Structure 1
Amino acid sequence: MKNFNIKAVLFLNYFVFAILLNSVGTVILQMQQNFGITKSNASILEGFKDLPIAICSFILASFLPKIGIKNSMLIALFLVSCMCFVMPFADHFWFFKLLFAIVGISFALIKISVFTSIGLVTDNDKEHSSFMGFLEGFFMVGVLMGNVLFSLFIDDSNPKSMTWLNVYWVLGAISVVSFIFLFFSKLNENEAKSENTSLIGDIKNSISLFSYKKVLFFLLCVFLFVLVEQSFQTWTPTFYKEILKVPTSMSIQAGAVLAGAFALGRFLSGFFLRKFAWIYVVSFCAIGFAVSILLVLPLTQNTNISTDAGWLNAPLVVYLFPLMGVFLAPIYPSINSLILSSTPKYLHSSMSGLIVVFSAIGGTIGSIITGSVFEKFTGQHAFYLSLIPLSLLIISAIIMNKFKINPKK
């Protein structure tokens, strides 16, 4: 396989950050149990993760190729490795704020670098779409494995136990391994660099993207999608614990099942995008997810699950809820691949930066809204609200499909 080594490294890097980023739902649940933090206060961890992603992406995107794509990823892996080895000694809420701030900064470097690299290691639009789908699918495998890993360190018999922090020794080791693999890999970055080598020229390239209507509607789609996705990913463990009344470890494992559903959906998107136009895939998935919400959420009302419930004796709704992720999953890689394959490779870094910025903003707002509604009303009300951004997403995608991008270098 062409570029196999660097492709494998991109998968591994994405895997590491999938675990770290999406552990926020687990950490929010543990903060409530270990430190008595309220839902609304715990939800700000999403902001400590996403706002650094947004700010750093905005600052770094236009001239990241000058830092070096490989160098940027190495810096990111070094930072999170150090932080992971500190976390087993965490004894205050501010440690977790710092953790997610560093994870956010590092992920900004990783995601822009990875998205920029895809155009360098693929040869055409279909290969780009397929690789993006598989990469995002592997990201969700990382989320799944992360939830399972965290659940193994949870002590259900002692909710106040801090032994779960030992999971960060494992995560630190994985980060170090990823750093070593990347260090010895080669990546030709020449095509990612603009002919205009000045910083001002790079910034102008980034700003020029806002002049295209297709880009504007695409960014709206990204914002709306992540607003919905992050709400479900972050609050599913708490929903299972407080609404379905299952044990803490099982609540975290439910997040793993949701991630597994996302992974399946994104792997499938790698195949479907080779056969169907992206707009049909996105529209079908958004409508399918909306319908599943209307069918599944009513089943979560007034459930009676025994305290010793497990995956072998749980009610049907316990399985159905996370499986909704199969419908939602293909949307993100579909729209991202479309916009990146529509722009010249020298603009991929800038475009990737915008993707990360609007994803981070959507994730933060979605998590805070969901947490606040969850606290004041119910988890069902919080998730029903996702029907609004889903509707706007379909409309925005249809409008985006009508425009083209023809930038001049």
Structure 2
Amino acid sequence: MKNWKIKLSLYLNYFVFAILLNSVGILIQKSINTYHVDELAASSLEAFKDLSIAFVSFFVGSFLPRLGYKKGMLMALALVFFGCIGMYFGNSFTAVRILFACVGISFAVIKVSVYSLVGLLAADDKAHKSMLSSIESFFMVGIAVAFVSFPLFYSDTDPDAWLRVYLVVAVLVAISFLFLLFSDFDSLNFEIPGSNIADDFKQMISLLQRPMVLVFAIAAFMYVMTEQGIMSWLPTFNEKVLHLPERTSVFMAVILMLSIAGGRFVSSILIKKIYWLTILLTCLIGAALMVILVLPQTNNLEVKTINSLADVPVIAYVFPLIGFFLAPLYPLVNSIVLSATEKIFHSPMASLLTFFSAIGGTLGSRLVGYLFKEIGGSKAFYFSLIPMGILIICLFLLNNIQKKSGKNIEFNTKGGH
């Protein structure tokens, strides 16, 4: 298979970064329990990750084609490799912060590279859609693996045993590095948007003048604020509010990842028969009802000993199903804008997408962390109703812009972050 080393490396990259990026909820919980920091300080981990992604992604899209995607990704993998080793030996809250800064910087480079390279590796539009969908789906597999694998390393006799997971991840990063190092990029035909780096950057900023891109940026911001706020704090919510043991609280968070995967699969079938706006409005209303109807069940929850999954409160199984309703939003909105963007601008467009998603993720986690501390975990997730309301407005605006442009939209329903 042509370019199989490059393709395999892209899959491995996304798998590894899914584990690292989405372990932030686990590390928030660990920082509170092991390093004894408060909820607000622990929420800063999201900022170290997402602000690094935001800062680097805002600039990387304009010069990465000139630096070279291979060289950029190799540098990113090397950085995150040393971040994992530093976490294993550092074993402190400072080491966690440094790790997530490394992960954020690296992922910004990886994501923009992957989005750009898929267009170069795919033979036609159908192949492009298939490859990008499968890579993003693999990202969800990595997230689920993170919430399953971390607890496997927990030990009642060795409080530091969980750190060994970073040695395993470092090995995966090294394997991906080697595949990429020996891959031949000479056959790929790169296009550079402008005549120099300054011109490239201006081209990226000019994309914000397009009404669809501006509304998309707001929608991406609001969606990730909602999703990351819930995803990052669900293990802590399970432990502090539902009174689950630490290991069980992480395992139960897998339900959220599986429900997101399920939601994207179902939406990929429904989108062929039902108009996208109808699907997304139904999903947002469903997610809001989950918050309004399910969260009140945490009030005066009886504390009992958890000896098996049968002893876990029903709400721990039900609330993570909100992911099923949130799942279709990001990939469908993503498809609308990418299908209306010229291929030569996919690298800067990916930069803008990553930038606004990262800022949204930071604010979402930070707000939930503040609310956990000030009003308690049982009420913190109610804040998600605000970005959901703004998302509904964005959907109507995107629908109007799309109708005025008269473009037929093709959907990639299995997208992700």
Task: Name the TM-score, length of structure 1 as normaliser.
Answer: 0.91
Distance apart, 1:183 and its partner CA: 2.9
Distance 1:22 1:373 in 2: 21
Distance 1:291 1:3 in 2: 46
* Residues 1:201 and 2:189 are matched in the alignment: no
* Residues 1:108 and 2:108 are matched in the alignment: yes
Letter in 2 for 1:43: S
Select the residue among 346, 349, 374 that pairs with 1:351: 349
Q: Deviations over 1:266-318 (max 9, x none)?
A: 34444444554443333232222112222221222222253334323323222
Q: Paired residue for 1:282?
A: 280
Q: Paired residue for 1:50?
A: 50
Q: Paired residue for 2:304?
A: 306
Q: Paired residue for 1:331?
A: 329
Aligned 8 A contact 1:69 1:189 in 2: no
Letter in 1 for 2:31: M
Letter in 2 for 1:364: T
For structure 2, the residue ranges without an aligned partner over 5 or more in a row are 407-417
Letter in 2 for 1:206: M
Distance 1:385 1:113 in 2: 34
Letter in 2 for 1:386: S
Q: Paired residue for 2:16?
A: 16
Q: Paired residue for 2:189?
A: 190
Q: Paired residue for 2:167?
A: 169
Aligned 8 A contact 2:242 2:313 in 1: no
Distance 2:277 2:217 in 1: 15
Q: Paired residue for 2:409?
A: none
Matches within 5 A, 1:1-400: 6-122=6-122, 131-155=131-155, 157=156, 161-186=159-184, 189-194=188-193, 196-400=194-398
Letter in 1 for 2:51: L
Distance 1:124 1:224 in 2: 32
Aligned 8 A contact 1:230 1:363 in 2: yes
Task: Name the TM-score, length of structure 2 as normaliser.
Answer: 0.90
1:134/1:371 CA distance change after superposition, 3 Å = same
Letter in 2 for 1:261: S
Secondary structure of 1:401 counterpart: helix
Q: Deviations over 1:312-369 (max 9, x none)?
A: 3323222112122111112112222221221111101101000111011101101010
Distance 2:170 2:344 in 1: 33
Letter in 2 for 1:85: I
Letter in 2 for 1:242: K
1:348/1:143 CA distance change after superposition, 3 Å = same
Distance 1:398 1:60 in 2: 31
For structure 1, the residue ranges without an aligned partner over 5 or more in a row are none
1:276/1:128 CA distance change after superposition, 3 Å = farther
Distance 1:220 1:305 in 2: 41
Aligned 8 A contact 2:121 2:188 in 1: no
Aligned 8 A contact 1:76 1:107 in 2: yes
Letter in 2 for 1:120: L
1:104/1:231 CA distance change after superposition, 3 Å = same
